Structure 1
Amino acid sequence: MTSTVTVFAPTNPTHVALLPSFADIHIACIETDDMIATFTPPLKRDVIIDWWKERAADAAEGKRIIIMALAEDSAGREQLAGYVMLYRPLNEVEPTRAGVEKLLVSPNFRRRGLARMLMEKLEEEAKSHGQTLLMLDTETGSPAEMIYPKLGYIQLGIVPKFGLSPVDGSLIAATFFWKQL
């Protein structure tokens, strides 16, 4: 099965038509993995679609770069399989810093190397924009926490009681990472 990684183009109608699929992956990752990912149950698909429309608007303004992975499903149809965002705060005192956000791969497309492919493309895009210091956070104890060191990210530290668990509303720690490109 083939996979391609590309930059989301907010002026491309085909890409914009994928925004509900972005929301569906977001929902699937929260429901399947009980991960902290912006929203807590009960999840409202229309609210999450609107949130992704806002991210697309940020991409149109150059504030974010959204990287998408497209992959063939078992029937050979190309689908959105995952994504990650590069948040570009663009300020005068930190011109080389950017944030990595929402590395999410659909449960239906895991174990194919898509997370690595997405992050490699994100880093390529960051470098092309002069942003060479990447920072991110992820839920402590999550599978994602194990991915980032394999990609060369250095753990900065753990902040306890950082975000709400979608399971029971308790506060969960977050692990922060950085990487100099």
Structure 2
Amino acid sequence: MTVAITALSAEETRDRLDELADLLRACVEDGASVNFLLPFTAEAARRFWEAKVLPPLMAGGLILLVAEVGGRIAGTVQLDHDTPPNQPHRAEVRKLLVHPDFRRQGIARALMLDLEARAGAMGRHLLTLDTLTGDKAEPLYAALGYVTVGTIPDYCIRTDGSGMGATTFMYKQLDASAPQA
């Protein structure tokens, strides 16, 4: 299996909204806690990409990476680097998504490593993220060197509405002395 990771422009993102919406919907239906509740429609998934991803992508404050397998979007992750003037060294990892059909194949790890390389090249050496406590992604982040800062109980409603879920906040310091692009 060959995985190709690329950064999508705003125009490319607009052209692939249906594919991105399908990916998001499949992940939410599989239980991903990424801000949505079931039932989750294709229209709501598309609206997310149009309203929450396209504007910062067009403004230049967001990088959207996609992993493709055989021309199909298998996963995505976002690097939000639209930070205040006193935080030019920091960025936030958002919405790591891997389609259920492509899980356990190293795609999430590949996306994260590419994201970290791009962040480092931009001079962003502190990355932060949050994840549902106990979620499948939490051990991946720890294995990649992300440090748990703490958890907040009852942070969100579980995707299936079955109760409240805690969120774990994590960070990683990249090598700030690495050459910058």
Give yes or no for TM over 0.5. Answer: yes
Q: 1:45 aligns with which of 42, 45, 49?
A: 42
Which consecutive residues of structure 1, in runs of 5 or more, have no partner in the other structure? 73-77
| DSSP-derived class of the 1:11 partner | helix
| Structure 1 counterpart of 2:5 | 5
Question: 2:61 & 2:128 partners in 1: Cα distance?
Answer: 15
| DSSP-derived class of the 1:102 partner | strand
| DSSP-derived class of the 2:27 partner | helix
Q: 1:58 aligns with which of 56, 59, 65?
A: 56
Deviations 1:115-159 (A, max 9, x none): 111001111111122211000000011111111011111111111
Amino acid at match of 1:82: G
Give the CA deviation at 1:6. Answer: 0.6
Amino acid at match of 2:41: K
Mean CA deviation greater in 41-50 or 105-114 = 41-50
Deviations 1:71-92 (A, max 9, x none): 02xxxxx100000001113211
| Structure 2 counterpart of 1:23 | 21
| Structure 2 counterpart of 1:131 | 124
Matches within 5 A, 1:69-108: 69-72=67-70, 78-108=71-101
Mean CA deviation greater in 167-176 or 114-123 = 167-176
Question: 1:44 & 1:167 partners in 2: Cα distance?
Answer: 14
Give the CA deviation at 1:57. Answer: 2.5
The count of aligned residue pairs is 173
Structure 1 moving runs of 4+ over 6 Å: none
Question: 1:90 & 1:143 partners in 2: Cα distance?
Answer: 28
Give the CA deviation at 1:44. Answer: 2.0
Q: CA RMSD in A?
A: 1.3
| Maintained 8 Å contact 1:161/1:171 | yes
Matches within 5 A, 1:106-121: 106-121=99-114
Question: 1:40 & 1:111 partners in 2: Cα distance?
Answer: 24
Which consecutive residues of structure 2, in runs of 5 or more, have no partner in the other structure? 175-181
Identity rate, percent: 35
Give the CA deviation at 1:169. Answer: 4.8
Give the CA deviation at 1:167. Answer: 1.7
Does the C-alpha gap of structure 1 residues 25 and 130 become closer, same or farther in structure 2, counting only changes over 3 Å?
Answer: same
| DSSP-derived class of the 1:116 partner | helix
**Residue 171 of structure 2 is aligned to residue 173 of structure 1:** no
Question: 2:34 & 2:83 partners in 1: Cα distance?
Answer: 24
| DSSP-derived class of the 1:152 partner | coil
TM-score, normalised with respect to structure 2: 0.90
| Maintained 8 Å contact 2:130/2:167 | yes
